[in-house]
Structure 1
Amino acid sequence: CVEMAKKLGERIGTELQIPVYLYEEAATRPERRDLAYIRKGQYEALKAELGEKPEREPDFGPAHMHHSAGATVVGARMPLVAFNINLGTSDISIAKRIAKLIRARDGGYMFVKAMGVNLDERHIAQVSINMINFRKTSLYRVFETVKMEAERYGVPVVGSEIIGLVPMDALIDVAEYYLRIENFDRAQILESRLTVE
C-alpha cells in the first residue's frame, strides 16, 4: 500500500499539478505521519506558507496551491474506526477530561485520538474517538476505560456508536472479549465460510 500511495501521489502531483503530502505509513518525514500536522492552520496557512517554509514543501507537485483543487494528502494506513461513546451527562468538561486521558498525544492509548463534544439536541456529552489501529489498541479496552472513568464522575455510559464502515475483526474482538465464548474459533463465523464466485 505504501508503494501504491507514493505512485498515486507522484501521479497527482505531476499530471494534475496539485501539491501532494504523503502521510501515515507513506510519510516521507516522521512529523507527517500525523494528518493533523499536515492540516495545521488549514487551507489559509498552507497557502501562505507553501513555497515560503521548507517544512511545508509537498512531497510531489508544485510548491503552490492549485487554483481550484488546493492541495491533497495521500496515505497508507489501517482502516480508521470512528467510535463515539455517549455519557449520561450534559457536562462537556467530563467528556473532555476522559478524552484527554485516553488519547495518545496526552499519554493515553497509542493509536487513539479523542475529544469531548456536546450533543446539544440529545442533552448529553460524548467522547468522540478515532481508533487509528484497532489491532494494537482494541475498541473494548478504550470502551472499558471510558466507562470506568465516567463512573468516577458518577456518570453512566448510555450508548456508543460506530460512524461509517468498520472492519469485521474490530467487532469480533469486542464480541470475544464480552461474550467470553469458550473454544471460539473465527472459522466458526458463517461469513468466513461463504465464498463469492
Structure 2
Amino acid sequence: MSQFIHAVPNFSEGRDQKIIEAIVSQVRETEGCKLIDFYPDAEFNRTVIEAIGRPEPLKEAMLKMAGKSYELIDMEKQQGAHPRIGAQDTIPLFPLKGVTLEECVALAEEIGREIYKRYEVPVFFSGENARNEDRKNLAFIRKGQYEGLKKVAHLPERAPDIGPAALHPTAGATIVSAATCGLTAVNVILDTTDVSIAKAIAMMVRGPSGGFSTIRSVGFYMEDKDKVAVSMNMFDTQNTPLHRVFRLIEDEARAKGVGVLGTQIVGTLHNDALISCAGHALRLVDFDPKQIIENHMIGL
C-alpha cells in the first residue's frame, strides 16, 4: 500500500509575492509531493502551505522549502501579527494513508536533524516529538516570539532541542512535529459588522476561556464580506464535531439578535468531519462510508 503524509508548514512571509512564490515552488516542483494549496496572510505576515506526499519526497520538499525560507526571510526585519520564532516557523506532519503516527514521528526527527545539518538552524520538537509536556504546546515554545526567545534561548528550559542554545541570527528556529491529525480551520460568518459580538462568542467557544478544550477561537472582521466571523482552529473534529460547535455559535448569536450567514472551511478537512454533520442533520441510520460512491475510486 502506498504511504501518504499530510504536511501543513508555515513560513513567516505573507506579503511579498515573489518571496512567497519562490518558497512555495520548492514544494510544487518536488516529484512525489503534491501541493494542495497555500494561504498567504498579509496581516499575519505568514503563509500556510498544505501538501501531501510519500515520505521521502515529502521530506525533501520540506527541507528545500525550509532552506529557501532561511535564504529569503530575515527575522531581524520581519514583523506581523502571527506569533513566530523563525523564517520557516513550523513543519507539522500527519499520517494520511498507509502510514502510522510512529512513522511520522520518526520522519519528523529526520527532518529536524537534517535542517540543522544542512542549514545550521536550531530546531524545537513539538507534538508527539516533544521532549517534555510543555513543548507539546506551540505557545510555550513561541513565548516571547523571535525577539523574546533569542534573549532566553541560552536557558535550559528554553533552549532548542537540536543546535546550540541560541537562535540563528537571521533565520531564528524551526518547530518540527508529528501528530495524529491536523487542525480544521473554520470561519462561522455572522450577519453583523460588530466585531465585539464575534469576540464574545469566540471567548465562549475556545478552550482556555471555558469552551471546548480542542478549539482555539478568535473573532475578527472580514473585509471582503463586510461581516464579522468566529474563526476557529479545531484540533479534534471527531470528539468535538463541527455541527455541535456550530449550533452553540448559532444559539449565542441568536441571543444577541444576530443571524449566522454561513460556514467557511479554510483549507482541507477529512471526509469524516462532513459525514458527521450530515449524519446529525439527516439522522442517518446504519450509514457506512462505503455508501459514498467516490470512495470506491480510491486506489483504482
Distance 2:136 2:283 in 1: 36
- What does residue 5 of structure 1 align with? 108
Task: Write the mapping of 1:118-129 to structure 2, written as runs, cut at 5 A.
Answer: 118-129=221-232
SS at match of 1:56: coil
- What does residue 97 of structure 1 align with? 200
- What does residue 143 of structure 1 align with? 246
**CA-CA distance at 1:73 after TM superposition:** 0.5
Task: Write the mapping of 1:43-122 to structure 2, written as runs, cut at 5 A.
Answer: 43-51=146-154, 53-77=155-179, 78-122=181-225
Distance 1:136 1:14 in 2: 39
Correspondence 1:21 to 2:124: yes
What does the per-residue CA deviation read over 1:87-146, in whole Å, with 9 as the maximum and x for residues that have no partner?
111111111111111111112112100001112443321101001121221111111111
Please list every run of 5 or more consecutive structure 2 residues that lacks an aligned counterpart in the other structure. 1-103
SS at match of 2:161: coil
Letter in 2 for 1:69: A
Letter in 2 for 1:186: P
Letter in 2 for 1:72: T
**CA-CA distance at 1:38 after TM superposition:** 1.6
**CA-CA distance at 1:15 after TM superposition:** 4.1
Distance 1:70 1:131 in 2: 28
Letter in 2 for 1:156: G
Please list every run of 5 or more consecutive structure 1 residues that lacks an aligned counterpart in the other structure. none
- What does residue 191 of structure 1 align with? 294
RCO higher in 1 or 2 (8 Å CA, sep ≥ 6)?
Answer: 1
Question: TM-score by structure 1 length?
Answer: 0.91
- What does residue 136 of structure 2 align with? 33
Distance 1:100 1:166 in 2: 24
Distance 1:174 1:65 in 2: 44
Root-mean-square deviation over aligned CA pairs: 1.7
Higher strand share: 2
Identity between Structure 1 and Structure 2 (%): 41
- Paired residues, number: 196
**CA-CA distance at 1:7 after TM superposition:** 3.0
Distance 1:141 1:2 in 2: 31
Letter in 2 for 1:113: R
SS at match of 2:163: coil
Question: TM-score by structure 2 length?
Answer: 0.61
Letter in 1 for 2:171: A
Contact 1:18 1:62 in 2 (8 A): no
Letter in 2 for 1:55: E
